[in-house]
Amino acid sequence: MAVTAPEANEETMAMRVVAALRDEIVTMALKPGDVISESDIAGRYGVSRQPVREAFIRLAQQGLLLIRPKRATVVKKISPDGVRQSRFIRESIEVEIIRRVAGQPGPDAAGVLDGLIADQEAASAANDSRRFHILDELFHRTLARLAGVEYAWQLIDDHKMQLDRVRYLTLGVSSSQRAIAEHKEIAAAVGRADPASAEAAMRAHLARAEVLLNQTISDFPDYFE
């Protein structure tokens, strides 16, 4: 259960190291294949080896690090098959979510989604790609909340970290217009209480990640297994 469970608070040193390292990894400051060591990171953050070691354990369980006992610890390379199956998991869950939402839409469901899309259009117009990315996540997360399974989104989020690394490599706006159009189509199907159309639109929306992945693999082969 809960992979990224309750480590949101950064009370302890170990938690802080986890947050810092995870950020470095998903932003590609630490690249797949990079070798790191407990002493190295400990010195870098001015703490003992102990909290760093615990951070390594957490990140290894999240699939970002690979601890090779008595040898070294490396930033895990991205597994194409793992990403593919993560996408399968995400599509399975999000399709079920959108069916629920479109099947029994709450009174304000369509309104909330339209509001988010408007924000995305604003972010896109301002060329604020970071905000756009956050709003994109929020759109999907909101769908999970509307379906009453927000916890399921946390699961997707954990698995999305791998693909986020890929996304960071291709930080071009990557046709945000198209994503917005697809979001509109999904929201419209929800407004019409049309589960079948909503499912089709969601599948088409998620299918784009496949193209992104394949292109990135050929662009950065060293970062993949």
- Comparison of 56 and 153: residue with beta carbon closer to DNA: 56
When asked if residue 7 is in the footprint of DNA (CB under 7 A), the reply is no
- For residue 55, the minimal CB distance to DNA (Å) is 9
Question: What count of other Cβ atoms lies within 10 Å of the Cβ of residue 166?
Answer: 22
When asked if residue 91 is in the footprint of its own copies (CB under 8 A), the reply is yes
- For residue 2, the minimal CB distance to DNA (Å) is 16
Residues 6+ apart with CB under 8 A from 5: none
Q: For residues 112 and 101, give the distance between their C-alpha atoms in angstroms, rounded to a whole number.
A: 12
Binding-site residue total for DNA (CB under 7 A)? 23
Among 31, 49, 77, 208, binds DNA (CB under 7 A): 49
- DSSP annotation of 223: G
Q: For residues 76 and 79, give the distance between their C-alpha atoms in angstroms, rounded to a whole number.
A: 9
Q: For residues 210 and 214, give the distance between their C-alpha atoms in angstroms, rounded to a whole number.
A: 6
- For residue 32, the minimal CB distance to its own copies (Å) is 13
Residue 74, SS3?
A: strand
Residues 30-89 that bind its own copies (CB under 8 A): 53-54, 57-58, 60-64, 69, 81-82, 85-86, 88-89
CA distances from 190 to 107, 110, 116, 165, 198 (A): 11, 6, 14, 31, 6
Q: Which residues bind DNA (CB under 7 A)?
A: 12-14, 36-40, 47-51, 53-54, 56, 67-73
- Residues binding its own copies (CB under 8 A): 1-3, 5, 11-12, 53-54, 57-58, 60-64, 69, 81-82, 85-86, 88-89, 91-93, 95-97, 149, 151-152, 155, 158-159, 161-162
